[in-house]
């Protein structure tokens, strides 16, 4: 047996795993932290920024909307840039630009400067973030991908929920007299550490397809279609939903159709498309996009409403409102750890469905708390329900990326990463628009002292409905990211993984 093993052709022997793969994961997660913090902290710090720099309500809207729009519109193109020019090179460019824009945001002398830098920060984030999933997929053998993607759950959850806590603490602390500017300065050490780590540990091999060319017309068409959809979703509620918002969203449908027709034409002509058409033929990937769109719509919308309720409804300070959500962050970490421990036994889909159900239990717990208290006087009554909500959130995110991306081929990774992340951002924008509009409409109609509590209760019922829909659609996904090898069955010689994987 030993002699037979030694005589096995070199191309059939398993290559050693990439030595610095866990360091690659740490670098990618550092980039995720920067992005998620910047997407959440401005909601808490916005009033302080406006008090210092001046500007009207539109300035506050664009502090958040400028980043979200640029990020969502640029994501698919950002993922493709990694395929064309190399994921390592684009990660370095994105991290450097994001860190530089953070510094320029921190020293902004006026509103226009800050909004412009936020837009550029979102564009650099759209170049940076899609490379991470591809780099992880390239660095890890298949049998360790579940553990690697599982780390995204606690990091994403903790960053998103801790963003308001960090923002409130930094603004109140006024470190070195910087006030709100510290919320951008904290990106500098994280960004520089990510850059240094990227230079040292990111893999250089098999990262660029020299036959591909960037599809500039396709980029313009997709950017226009997403802008027509995302802009009114982000701004419509603040502007009172004028007619042109509805017209723009309606126009996004033919724009997306024109993009699809153009991309099919490029494929027939033998040219590189922006989005790999083979992705759209994979049921698993399409189902994953739909599940993520609905799931993140519910979570992002609920995050906004709870923050508004605690500060405007209950009159809590930014720091107190942020700290009240800390059980949510702690629960997210617990859920992700539990999902890692149970993943091999129960499979990805069962964990995803169970996690979604637990989020629903947390939302139901919040409903019960509001009904019993009529509006809590302290954070403690909210803590159990938020803890349960966080556990479900962490347990859901842990298997999500693995089960969706397991069907993606190597040449599709950049396109798939950008498309998957864009779906989450657009889902979040839809959730903020739909749940936010419902909340403020009910609040206006109620017009009573308890209107905030009544409106939040109704939003929680909408949230439970969205979670039920996402959980039901999850059954379109395969039971496991990868099939278990049969007893004595063949395995993939390259990685020691099962030879057969679930087809998309």
Q: Measure the CA–CA gap between 459 and 436, rounded to whole angstroms.
A: 9
Residues 177-184 have a mean pLDDT of 85
pLDDT > 60? residue 497: no
pLDDT class of 56 with cuts at 50, 70, 90 = low
pLDDT at 11: 47
The pTM for the full model equals: 0.72
pLDDT class of 424 with cuts at 50, 70, 90 = confident
The rounded mean pLDDT for the chain is 79
pLDDT class of 499 with cuts at 50, 70, 90 = very low
pLDDT > 50? residue 51: yes
Q: Measure the CA–CA gap between 289 and 109, rounded to whole angstroms.
A: 40
pLDDT > 80? residue 155: no
Residue boundaries of the structural domains of the chain: 18-204, 279-478
| Top mean-pLDDT range of 28-32, 152-156, 380-384 | 380-384
Residues 297-309 have a mean pLDDT of 83
pLDDT > 60? residue 72: yes
**How far is Cα of residue 272 from the mean position of the Cα atoms in its chain?**
27
pLDDT at 487: 43
Pick the range with the lowest mean pLDDT from 350-354, 410-414, 416-420: 410-414
pLDDT class of 207 with cuts at 50, 70, 90 = low
pLDDT class of 48 with cuts at 50, 70, 90 = confident
pLDDT class of 500 with cuts at 50, 70, 90 = very low
pLDDT at 459: 93
DSSP 140-174: S-HHHHHHHHHTHHHHHHHHHHHHHHHHHHHHHHT
Q: Are 134 and 413 in contact (CB under 8 A)?
A: yes
pLDDT at 47: 72
* Distant-in-sequence, close-in-space partners of 237: CB < 8 Å, separation ≥ 6: 433, 436, 437, 440
pLDDT at 13: 54
Rounded to 5 degrees, what are φ and ψ at 317? -70, 160
Q: Are 454 and 370 in contact (CB under 8 A)?
A: no
pLDDT at 382: 92
Q: Measure the CA–CA gap between 175 and 179, rounded to whole angstroms.
A: 7
Consecutive H or E run containing 492: strand 491-492
**What's the fold here for domain 18-204?**
Growth Hormone; Chain: A; (1.20.1250)
Q: Measure the CA–CA gap between 39 and 167, rounded to whole angstroms.
A: 11
Q: In this structure, is the dihedral angle defined by the CA atoms of residues 73, 59, 178 and 42, taken in order, positive or negative?
A: negative
pLDDT class of 448 with cuts at 50, 70, 90 = low
Q: Measure the CA–CA gap between 331 and 315, rounded to whole angstroms.
A: 25
What's the CA dihedral at 265, 266, 268, 271 to 10 degrees? 170
Residues 279-301 have a mean pLDDT of 84
* Distant-in-sequence, close-in-space partners of 437: CB < 8 Å, separation ≥ 6: 236, 237, 241
pLDDT > 80? residue 495: no
pLDDT at 460: 94
Q: Measure the CA–CA gap between 230 and 252, rounded to whole angstroms.
A: 9
pLDDT class of 117 with cuts at 50, 70, 90 = very high
Residues 61-71 have a mean pLDDT of 77
Classify residue 490 by its DSSP letter: -
Q: Which CATH number fits domain 279-478: 1.10.240.10, 3.40.190.80, 1.20.1250.20, 1.10.10.10?
A: 1.20.1250.20
Residues 95-115 have a mean pLDDT of 92
pLDDT > 80? residue 198: yes
pLDDT at 157: 63
Task: Calculate what percentage of the chain has a pLDDT beyond 70.
Answer: 84
Residues 79-103 have a mean pLDDT of 88
pLDDT > 50? residue 485: no
Give strand pairing partners of 498. 491
pLDDT > 60? residue 12: no
pLDDT at 208: 59
Q: Are 136 and 145 in contact (CB under 8 A)?
A: yes
Pick the range with the lowest mean pLDDT from 6-15, 74-83, 380-389, 457-466: 6-15
pLDDT digits (tens, 9 = 90+) for 307-350: 778 877 888 877 787 788 888 878 887 887 787 777 666 667 88
Q: Are 33 and 190 in contact (CB under 8 A)?
A: yes
pLDDT class of 101 with cuts at 50, 70, 90 = very high
């Amino acid at each position: 047996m030993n002699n037979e093993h030694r005589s096995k052709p070199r191309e059939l022997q398993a290559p050693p795993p990439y030595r610095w793969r866990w360091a690659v994961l740490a670098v990618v997660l550092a980039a995720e932290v920067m992005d998620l913090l910047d997407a959440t902290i401005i909601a808490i710090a916005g009033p302080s920024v406006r008090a210092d720099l001046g500007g009207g309500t539109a300035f506050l809207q664009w502090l958040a909307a400028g980043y979200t729009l640029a990020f969502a519109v640029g994501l698919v193109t950002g993922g493709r840039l990694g395929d064309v020019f190399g994921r390592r090179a684009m990660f370095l460019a994105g991290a450097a630009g994001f860190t530089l824009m953070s510094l320029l945001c921190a020293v902004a002398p006026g509103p226009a400067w800050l909004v412009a830098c936020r837009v550029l920060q979102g564009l650099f984030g759209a170049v940076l973030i899609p490379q991470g999933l591809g780099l992880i997929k390239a660095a890890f053998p298949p049998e360790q991908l579940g553990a690697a993607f599982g780390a995204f759950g606690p990091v994403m959850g903790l960053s998103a929920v801790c963003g308001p806590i960090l923002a409130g603490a930094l603004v109140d602390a006024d470190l070195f007299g910087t006030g709100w500017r510290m919320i951008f300065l904290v990106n500098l050490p994280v960004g520089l550490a990510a850059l240094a780590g990227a230079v040292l540990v990111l893999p250089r091999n098999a990262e660029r397809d020299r036959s591909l060319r960037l599809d500039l017309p396709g980029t313009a068409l997709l950017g226009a279609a997403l802008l027509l959809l995302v802009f009114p979703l982000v701004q419509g509620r603040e502007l009172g939903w004028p007619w042109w918002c509805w017209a723009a969203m309606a126009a996004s449908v033919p724009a997306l159709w024109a993009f699809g027709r153009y991309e099919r034409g490029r494929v027939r002509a033998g040219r590189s498309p922006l989005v790999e058409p083979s992705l759209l033929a994979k049921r698993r990937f399409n189902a994953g996009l739909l599940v993520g769109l609905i799931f993140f719509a519910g979570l992002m919308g609920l995050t906004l409403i709870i923050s508004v309720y605690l500060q405007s409804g209950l009159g809590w300070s930014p720091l107190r409102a942020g700290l009240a959500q800390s059980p949510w962050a702690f629960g997210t970490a617990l859920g992700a750890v539990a999902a890692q421990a149970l993943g091999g036994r129960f499979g990805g889909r069962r964990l995803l469905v169970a996690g979604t159900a637990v989020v629903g239990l947390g939302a139901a717990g919040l409903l019960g708390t509001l009904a019993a208290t009529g509006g809590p006087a302290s954070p403690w009554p909210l803590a159990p329900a938020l803890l349960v909500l966080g556990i479900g959130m962490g347990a859901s995110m842990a298997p999500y990326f693995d089960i969706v991306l397991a069907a993606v081929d190597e040449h599709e990774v950049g396109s798939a990463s950008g498309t998957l992340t864009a779906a989450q951002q657009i889902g979040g924008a839809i959730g903020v628009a739909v749940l936010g509009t419902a909340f403020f409409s009910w609040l206006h109609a109620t017009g009573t002292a308890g209107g905030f509590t009544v409106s939040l209760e109704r939003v929680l019922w909408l949230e439970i409905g969205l979670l039920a829909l996402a959980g039901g659609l999850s059954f379109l996904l395969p039971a496991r990211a990868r099939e278990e090898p049969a007893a004595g069955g063949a395995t993939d010689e390259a990685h020691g993984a099962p030879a057969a994987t679930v087809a998309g």
